[in-house]
């Protein structure tokens, strides 16, 4: 039986949202984030809380993305090699988002 190729989740190369509980020195430590609210590429995992979240030994990856109109998106999964996250106006967004 042929092995099914396992998709590598895109790594978050940088996240500028220092106010997020998962962020340490511009690195996201959430194991898998969700991006998008269907019409905006916001980081849906962002949480401004007075506690440390995530797994310090891992760099965050994109678990799912709801931006179906992004050129990196297929079946609501991100296929970009990596993404960066940061502020767009007042919002924390996927900065790699590009409309197809
Ligand atoms: S690059 Fe596109 S598909 Fe990937 S997380 Fe960002 S908005 Fe979603």
In a domain, 21, yes or no: yes
Distance (Å) from CA 1 to ligand 1 centroid? 33
In a domain, 48, yes or no: yes
In a domain, 99, yes or no: no
In a domain, 30, yes or no: yes
What pLDDT shows up at residue 20?
97
The residue behind tokens 């220092």 is 18
Structural domain that includes position 68: 11-94
CB 98 within 8 A of CB 70: yes
What pLDDT shows up at residue 1?
63
The preferred substitution site among 39, 94, 99, 100 for testing ligand 1, maximizing ligand atoms within 8 Å of CB, is: 94
Cα dist. 68→23, 48, 71 in Å?
A: 26, 26, 8
What pLDDT shows up at residue 4?
74
In a domain, 26, yes or no: yes
Mean pLDDT per 10-residue interval, the chain, length 100 residues:
79 97 97 95 95 95 98 97 96 97
Distance (Å) from CA 76 to ligand 1 centroid? 9
CB 91 within 8 A of CB 40: yes
Q: Tell me whether strands 32-35 and 61-65 are parallel, antiparallel or unpaired.
A: parallel
85 lines ligand 1 (CB under 6 A): no
In a domain, 3, yes or no: no
What pLDDT shows up at residue 37?
92
């Amino acid at each position: 039986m042929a092995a099914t190729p396992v998709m590598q989740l895109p790594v978050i190369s940088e996240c500028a949202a220092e106010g997020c509980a998962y962020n340490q020195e511009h690195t996201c430590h959430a194991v898998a984030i969700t991006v998008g609210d269907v019409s905006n590429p916001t980081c849906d995992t962002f949480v401004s809380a007075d506690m440390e979240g995530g797994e310090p030994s891992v760099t965050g990856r994109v678990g799912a993305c709801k931006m179906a109109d992004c050129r990196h998106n297929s079946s609501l999964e991100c296929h970009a090699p990596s993404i960066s996250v940061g502020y767009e106006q007042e919002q924390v967004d996927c900065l790699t988002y590009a409309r197809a």
